[in-house]
């Protein structure tokens, strides 16, 4: 009995009595899990498997698990159902991260900032389940597909911030670079988010917004945004060029100032990622959007989003709050031997 209790204590200790390393580990797992779910979600869309499970929360009206559905191939059904299954480890990781942050008390004090950030993970999963259900029930409405992707990006951002903040103190923010560079990196985050949103409009306008197979085996396109593909693609590219110029300015500013090495390395990494994104974007466009290359483009954008967030966070830090001095004994009081 004692051996079982000892084993259970070791098993639950990272969650119920977490160290800083444990909290950061759960946060990193959340970053990876959310990045993976975004990538697999894009694979669902690009393989036209969005309605492989045409019902929600069940796969079909008569089956919870993957089952044959009229007008859908077996492969499409299993791709969509497999993506739904990935939500279970995502929920577990999000729950463990939240509990660990709730139980984490360095110096005897709970880190409320970590609790709120970690709470966004399980709440985000619940919101995603609801939005995902609406996506299916509205037959892949492009606006809801865009909300689904952008919500995933927001949850991923919360996980990235949680991972960084868990390694810092709970004191006030202290800048590590000049004010103008902090503002530029903040602008870089905002414009990158705008580029992600513009990308969803391009997707919802183009030929890869999704397709369905009717009961006669004919492939039909799902509803799309009523924009001109060339125009929205040009807007997306223009935002990309602006981000590239902004990243160059940030890298030069960091390189020739007293910036931390981590920030400088992340700046170069962001610049390299933007260059790769630009090349992939133009190649896919002039080759009529092959699905595999589009998937690479989306996955690279997820990694770029993580790097841009990390770059901004690397320009500042938080030190631990100073320990409060012990209260002096009242005058005339005695101390027991």
pLDDT of residue 212: 59
How many angstroms separate the CA atoms of 111 and 114, rounded?
A: 5
What pLDDT digit, counting tens, does each position of 64-103 carry?
Answer: 666 666 666 777 777 777 888 888 899 999 999 999 999 9
Element (H, E) at 200: helix 179-205
pLDDT of residue 214: 55
| Closest CA relative to residue 15, chosen from 25, 28, 6, 3 | 25
Q: Which residues pair with 60 in a beta bridge?
A: 63
Between the alpha carbon of residue 142 and those of residues 5, 85, 292, 296, the distances in Å are 52, 23, 20, 20
Mean pLDDT of 272-290: 90
Q: Which residues of 15-54 are buried (b: 16+ CB within 10 A; e: fewer)?
A: beebeeebbbbbbbbbbebbbebbbbbbbbbbbbbbbbbb
Mean pLDDT of 99-111: 90
pLDDT: which is higher, 87 or 127: 127
What pLDDT digit, counting tens, does each position of 27-55 carry?
Answer: 999 999 999 999 888 888 777 666 667 77
For the chain, which residues make up each domain, given as ranges?
A: 13-170, 172-208+219-318
| Closest CA relative to residue 27, chosen from 94, 90, 86, 89 | 94
- Whole-model pTM: value is 0.88
């Amino acid at each position: 009995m004692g051996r079982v209790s000892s084993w259970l204590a070791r098993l639950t200790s990272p969650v119920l009595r977490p160290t800083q390393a444990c909290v950061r580990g759960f946060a990193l797992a959340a970053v990876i899990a959310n990045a993976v779910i975004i990538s697999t979600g894009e694979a669902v869309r690009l393989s036209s498997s969005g309605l492989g499970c045409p019902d929600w929360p069940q796969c079909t009206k008569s089956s919870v698990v993957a089952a044959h559905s009229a007008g859908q191939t077996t492969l499409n059904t299993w791709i969509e159902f497999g993506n739904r299954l990935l939500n279970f480890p995502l929920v577990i990781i999000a729950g463990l991260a939240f509990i660990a942050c709730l139980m984490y008390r360095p110096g005897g004090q709970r880190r409320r900032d970590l609790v709120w950030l970690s709470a966004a993970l399980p709440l985000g999963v619940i919101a995603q389940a609801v939005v995902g259900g609406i996506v299916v029930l509205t037959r892949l409405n492009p606006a809801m597909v865009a909300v689904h992707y952008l919500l995933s990006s927001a949850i991923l951002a919360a996980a990235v911030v949680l991972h960084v903040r868990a390694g810092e103190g709970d004191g006030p923010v202290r800048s590590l670079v000049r004010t103008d560079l902090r503002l530029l990196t903040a602008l870089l985050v905002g414009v990158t988010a705008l580029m992600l949103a513009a990308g969803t409009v391009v997707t919802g306008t183009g030929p890869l917004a999704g397709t369905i197979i009717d009961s006669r085996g004919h492939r039909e396109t799902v509803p799309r945004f009523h924009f001109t593909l060339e125009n929205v693609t040009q807007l997306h590219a223009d935002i990309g060029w602006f981000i590239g110029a902004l990243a160059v300015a940030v890298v030069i500013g960091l390189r020739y100032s007293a910036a931390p090495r981590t920030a400088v390395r992340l700046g170069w990494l962001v610049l390299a990622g933007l260059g790769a994104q630009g090349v992939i974007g133009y190649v896919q466009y002039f080759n009529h959007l092959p699905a595999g290359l589009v998937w690479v483009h989306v996955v690279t954008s997820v990694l770029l989003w993580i790097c841009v967030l990390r770059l901004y966070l690397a320009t500042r830090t938080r030190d631990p709050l100073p320990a409060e001095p012990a209260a002096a004994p009242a005058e005339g009081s005695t101390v027991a031997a």
